[in-house]
Amino acid sequence: MPYKRGKDWETQVYYQGRKYRKMFPTEAEAIVWKVAQRKRLRSGSGNCASSEILTISLGEWATRYLDYAHVTFSQKT
């Protein structure tokens, strides 16, 4: 169910351990998006749009950053 956040409505969808959320000016728009996202994610028809916020755990983020840093930054002598 969407909830009020300031002047906007925020709604969230959890799928396979990930959280997708988005803000809308009206509660009705938030509900429509939530239902459509659930349907789309369950059918496997692609990733969420880039305007959505994808959240990951701190451990997963740290692992990804360490992999990136290992390749990007050279060891200094």
pLDDT (tens place) for every residue of the chain, 77 residues total: 888 989 999 999 988 888 899 999 999 999 999 999 999 888 876 555 555 667 788 998 899 899 888 888 877 65
**In this structure, is residue 7 part of a structural domain?**
yes
Q: pTM score, two decimals?
A: 0.55
The whole domain housing 20 covers: 3-72
Buried b vs exposed e over 44-75: b needs ≥16 C-beta within 10 Å?
Answer: eeeebeeeeeeeeeeeeeeeeeeeeeeeeeee
**In this structure, is residue 38 part of a structural domain?**
yes
Domain count along the chain: 1
Q: In whole angstroms, how far apart are CA 60 and each of 17, 30, 57?
A: 12, 28, 5
**In this structure, is residue 77 part of a structural domain?**
no
Q: Which residue has the tokens 């749009």?
A: 49
